[in-house]
Amino acid sequence: MHISSNEILTLLVSISIMLIVAKVFSEFFSRFKMPAVIGQIIAGILLGPTFFGHLAPNFFTWLFPSTGYLRGIVFLGLIFIMVKVGIEVELSSIFKQGKSIAAVSLFSILIPCIAGFVVSWYIPAFSGTYKSLPTSLFFAIVTAITALPVIATILLDVKIFHSDLGMIILTSAMVNDIIGWIFFSSLIKTVETGSIAIVSILTSLGLTIFITIVILTIFRYVINELLPVVQARTEWPGGVITLCLVLSMFLASLTESIGIHAFLGAFMGGIIMGDSPHLNAHTKEIINQFIDNFFSPLFFVSIGLGINLITQLSLVQSFLITLVVVISNIIACLIAGKISNNTYTDSLAIGIGMSTSGTMGIIVGIFALQYGIINATTYSSIVVMAIATSLLSGPLLKLILKPKEEVSLIELLDNNYIPDCACTNRNELIQQLSQHIQSRYGYDAQQVGHAIIEREQLMSTGIGQYVAIPHARLVECKKPVVVCATNPQGLDFDAPDGKPAKVIFMVITPQHDNDVQIFIISKIAQLCSNPNVVSQILNAKTNNEFIANLKTSTHLMAMEGYGT
């Protein structure tokens, strides 16, 4: 194969420009606590026919050709993004959840699907076309599907990622993504065959479910056995990264070869890698960084390159799609909340979180456009909806999750500081802190320890920067309890940055007061985002030193009003 000098030059210049502009905009959006991928999409819109392509059409055509090697790299970016989404899914967490997750997952799929199908079938302004079964099925899927990476970013930004409410949102989104991508793969296969009969749809769905089960059982077992061997016999983390990429591309090739789109195989490959107990949070973070800093920006910038908001945007359609997505998800989660005894505030917050269509809605839209299920104007409206829901979710969650009454972290921590704990593992530390809580507040130490450890098994509470926040809610608890302990050697709480926890805050809150748990955890996370505060806590040898260091901390004074 011969590649001309002009093709090499075009490829290198276009990738460089896409990466630079994407980085600038993603950093800008991140500074304002907005999802970085939205900045990358907007960077693409500015580089695309909406702005740059309109001002310099000839140079735009040369720089970003519609065919060629760049298209292949962008498609590879999509495959690896699906791997990343899959890695975020924790099957073990899904299986361990109770009534709340089941209710939220069921209704947040069922009601938005019905709403998307019915509205697109009967309102042409919504779907941008006349009655079409594939189009209505597409809108059923795009209304219900969630953007797991964007939701995770938003939950981290509003400091509720490690709370029970954050876990409900995240786990429900995992279930939605798995079901949504299975059904969408079936729809694509049906459209490819040219038959939209019910029998054809059910046949495609059956084949897709079968291959999914094979991957999640047989291949999952093989990877669980193979991963420790790779970690032991190859250089870390290179061997693990190679295994992840090769596995995902192999499964993508497998699903593509049997008529199911490659993205499903890549997604399932990510799931079985991420679900392995041998893949720790730090290794996941390295894989994510590899994808986030090259493949992801190229793909999301390419989204903007492919739309012209000047000629293809319908504000009415964009508004209608956004409205149906948000309202249907909120209604679904309010109903689920009634069934699972969640508070109105929690149910509303879950609904807002689940309405974040974001990047996944855009990816679904890309394939629907390619297969003629929707037109270019409808695709542009879906991009606008995805951006709108991603930008609105964070501020709305912050607004509705304000606690009914302020809780002073310093008052809760006073006389609850245990320096230099001589523990060798996290379970031993949890038991020691549980004994402290029993001696001071009368709660049964065994029950407290069991609740904390059970919560740890669902999702690790290491937040990084040498800090962990193990927590649980108890029926017997009437008022929140917070204990802080230090361990100079550090204990493994499976933090994303791989650092051991040297400062551990253990939080116990009342069973039915989720607001106070969210408030305390978010306040601790905000406090410990300052490395100087963490150092001051580690240096404190007595309770008085500990409280004095917190009060004199500029970071804490800004939050709690101490000083001037």
Least confident of 50-59, 167-176, 494-503: 167-176
Q: What is the rounded distance in angstroms from the CA atom of residue 25 to the CA atom of residue 28?
A: 5
User: DSSP states of 119-152 as a string?
Assistant: HHHH-HHHHSSS--HHHHHHHHHHHH---HHHHH
Residue with tokens 């991140």: 30
Question: In the structure, what pLDDT confidence band is assigned to residue 130 with cuts at 50, 70 and 90?
Answer: low
Residue 12 contacts residue 273 (beta carbons within 8 Å): no
Q: Is the pLDDT score of 564 beyond 50? A: no
Range scoring the smallest mean pLDDT among 11-20, 342-351, 393-402: 393-402
Q: Which residues are catalytic?
A: 471
Residue appearing with tokens 């490819």: 192
Lowest mean pLDDT among 4-18, 291-305, 350-364: 350-364
Q: What is the pLDDT of residues 313-322, one digit of tens each?
A: 889 999 999 9
CB 343 within 8 A of CB 114: no
554 or 370, greater pLDDT: 370
Question: Does domain 8-400 match CATH 1.20.1530.20?
Answer: yes
For the cut 60, the answer to whether the pLDDT of residue 556 exceeds it is no
Q: 127: which residues sit within 8 A by CB, 6+ positions away?
A: 119, 120, 121, 135, 136, 139, 374, 378
* Per-residue pLDDT tens over the stretch 414-458: 999 999 988 999 999 999 999 999 999 999 999 999 999 988 887
Over residues 371-375, mean pLDDT? 88
pLDDT per residue over 141-164, tens digit each? 999 988 877 887 788 777 777 777
**Which two tokens mark 300?**
């999301």
Strand 467-468 versus strand 462-464 pairing type = antiparallel
CB-neighbour burial class of residue 409 (10 A; exposed 0-12, middle 13-18, buried 19+):
buried
pLDDT, residue 513, reads 76
Q: Confidence class of residue 363 from pLDDT cuts 50, 70 and 90? A: confident
**Count of CA atoms in the C-beta half-sphere (13 A) of 503:** 24
Q: How confident is the model at residue 197 (pLDDT cuts 50, 70, 90)?
A: low
Least confident of 284-298, 316-330, 337-351, 392-406: 392-406
What percent of the chain stands above pLDDT 70? 93
Please determine, for residue 335, whether its predicted confidence score (pLDDT) is greater than 90: yes
Cite the DSSP H helix spans in 371-499. 376-400, 409-413, 426-441, 445-458
pLDDT at residue 562 in the model: 44
> What Å distances lie between residue 270 and 90, 142, 213, 220, CA to CA?
10, 21, 15, 10
| Residue 129 CA neighbour count, 13 Å, CB half | 17
CA angle at 322 for the pair 321 and 326, rounded to the nearest 5°? 120
What pLDDT sits at residue 345? Answer: 87
Cis amide linkage into residue 237, ω under 30° from 0: yes
Give the pLDDT confidence of 38-86 residue by residue, as tens digits.
899 999 999 999 999 989 999 999 999 877 788 889 999 989 988 988 8
CATH of domain 409-560: 3.40.930.10
418's tokens: 């245990």
Cα–Cα distance for residue pair 417/507, rounded to 1 Å: 13
Q: Find the mean pLDDT for residues 188-208.
A: 73
How much is the pLDDT for 558?
56
d(CA 360, CA 382): 11
- pLDDT value for 515: 77
8-400 shares its CATH topology with 409-560: no
For the chain, domain boundaries: 8-400, 409-560
* Whether the predicted pLDDT of 115 surpasses 90: yes
Whether residue 330 has pLDDT greater than 70: yes
Q: For residue 287, is pLDDT > 60?
A: yes
- Residue 244 pLDDT exceeds 60: yes
The pLDDT, as a whole number, for residue 1 is 56
Structure confidence at residue 196 (pLDDT): 60
Q: Lowest-confidence range among 197-211, 273-287, 316-330, 428-442?
A: 197-211
- The pLDDT score that the predictor gives to residue 110 is 93
* Distance between CA atoms of residues 31 and 207, nearest Å: 45
pLDDT of residue 119: 92
